[in-house]
Structures are given as C-alpha cells and as structure tokens.
Amino acid sequence: MADRTPQSSPESFLSGSIGPESRAVLEQQLAEHRAHLAALPESAGLVHRAHVLLDMGEALIGLERGKEAWETVRPLVEPLVAAGDWQEAVEACDVLYRAEQEDSILALGQGVWLSVTYPVKAQTTVAMLGHIVDETPEQADGAAVAAMMAHYIAGLRTEGRERDSLMFLTTQIIARVARRHRGIEDQETLDTWIEMYELNNTDTLLKRLGRMLDAIVGEHWWFDRDELRTRLPVN
C-alpha cells in the first residue's frame, strides 16, 4: 500500500505537468491497483478495499485526472465514517480535496473536522490543517487558528522524535502565518500576537475552528455530526 500521508500543500502534487517517465510509472501503479481491486474477494473488508481505492485515487491525482480520482474515492466517505474508520475517512477527504473538483473545499472542511475530532495520525491532521492555512487569505485570522491547532495536535498526539519533528514543522507554519498576517519576525512579538488573538486558549481555538468549518461546509455535511458526537467518549 502506498504512503498516503497528506502533504502540507496541494501544490506539491499539482505543480505543472508530469514527465513521460513519471507518467508511465503512475500508469503502471494504477493498473496494478485496479488488478488488486478486481482480485479482492467479496469477503474483503471495507478498510482493505478502501486502501486500494485510495491508492488508485493518489495515482489518478498524480496523473492529473482529478475527476476520476473524485469518482473513485467519493463513495468511500460515508461508509468509512459509519464504520468509525477515521484515518481512512480523513485520507479519503484529503484525496478529494487535492482532486480539485467543484466540491473539493467541502471535502477539506469535513476532513479537518474528522481529523481534529478523532485520534487519527497527527501528521495527517497537521497536513489537513496545513491545507486550511494555504486556502486562507493572508490577512484573515483563519490561518492563525489552523496553524495553532496543528501545533496543539502535534504536541498532543505524538511523542519522542516524532513529536520534536512535527512540532518543529508546526512552529515554522505558525511563524510563516504570523509573518504574512502581521509582518512579525521576532519571538517576543510573536508571543504577543498569540496572546492578543487568544491562540493559546484551546477551548477558544476549537470554537473558532468550528465556526470556520461551518462557514466552509455550510449545509453540505456528508455525515451527521450530532450523531457522531454521541459516540464520542465522555472523557
């Protein structure tokens, strides 16, 4: 199975046309994934099937065939959410976002909600929030909210070297956002900026992120968040 860890920016996948050698490799991978899918027994579980379809989606995005990637992966989201397969559901939303279709921004909002609400891999959540940073206008506060939430998740869900590496990355994202948001270059001003915008208050941060996701998705949620909230542990 291919490594589908979302990247910090969709441009890394969709920057210009691919060369003939890379295209040939991706076409071969796509053919192998399709053969794998066709060979799966009827008893194959949802997650197993989803992994193959997600790999197909990644190959299609690499081939700049976003519509096909969308059609391949979109049917996975609701079944994965219903089954509680959060990691795969978020990966599906990431592929749909990078497919650059009409509703891709809806996929991003829903993927971010799932990745923050449920304990998916920290790298996945940070990357999804990184997409929000990339989508947000330079002077808007939303990028700061997403960057600080990514930093919080990195510290909460990782340990050891992985924690150090991911928190270094999220610190750099925060610094970049502060620079473009207010021209901030030094640590003292950065700390003041974080205090002024209450970016170090987790409860406030979650509420602001929630409002931002509601603005992104509107009435077009693909799942019932209230029902999902009833399935969350009390603590």
Q: pLDDT for 45-58, tens place per residue?
A: 999 999 999 999 99
Q: How far apart are CA 12 and CA 7, in angstroms?
A: 7
pLDDT for the residue numbered 8: 42
Q: Which two tokens stand for residue 196?
A: 């002024």
For the cut 50, the answer to whether the pLDDT of residue 156 exceeds it is yes
232 contact partners, CB below 8 Å, separation of at least 6: 117
Domain count, the chain: 1
pLDDT for the residue numbered 7: 47
42 within a domain of the structure (yes/no): yes
1 within a domain of the structure (yes/no): no
Q: Where are the alpha helices (DSSP H) in 40-141?
A: 46-62, 66-73, 77-83, 86-98, 104-117, 122-135
25 within a domain of the structure (yes/no): yes
pLDDT tens-digit profile of 78-91? Answer: 999 999 999 999 99
For the cut 90, the answer to whether the pLDDT of residue 183 exceeds it is no
CATH of residue 225: 1.25.40
6 within a domain of the structure (yes/no): no
CB 158 within 8 A of CB 166: yes
Q: Supply the pTM of this predicted model.
A: 0.89
Count Cα neighbours of 191 within 13 Å in the Cβ-side half-sphere: 3
48 within a domain of the structure (yes/no): yes
Residues of the domain holding 211? 11-230
CB 167 within 8 A of CB 155: yes
Query: How high is the mean pLDDT of the chain?
Result: 91
Q: How far apart are CA 122 and CA 99, in angstroms?
A: 22
Q: Which two tokens stand for residue 129?
A: 């929030």
pLDDT for the residue numbered 55: 98
Q: Which two tokens stand for residue 85?
A: 């397969």
Q: What percent of the chain has pLDDT over 90?
A: 76
When comparing pLDDT for 31 and 233, which is higher? 31
4 within a domain of the structure (yes/no): no
3 within a domain of the structure (yes/no): no
8 contact partners, CB below 8 Å, separation of at least 6: 126, 127, 130, 131, 134, 169, 173
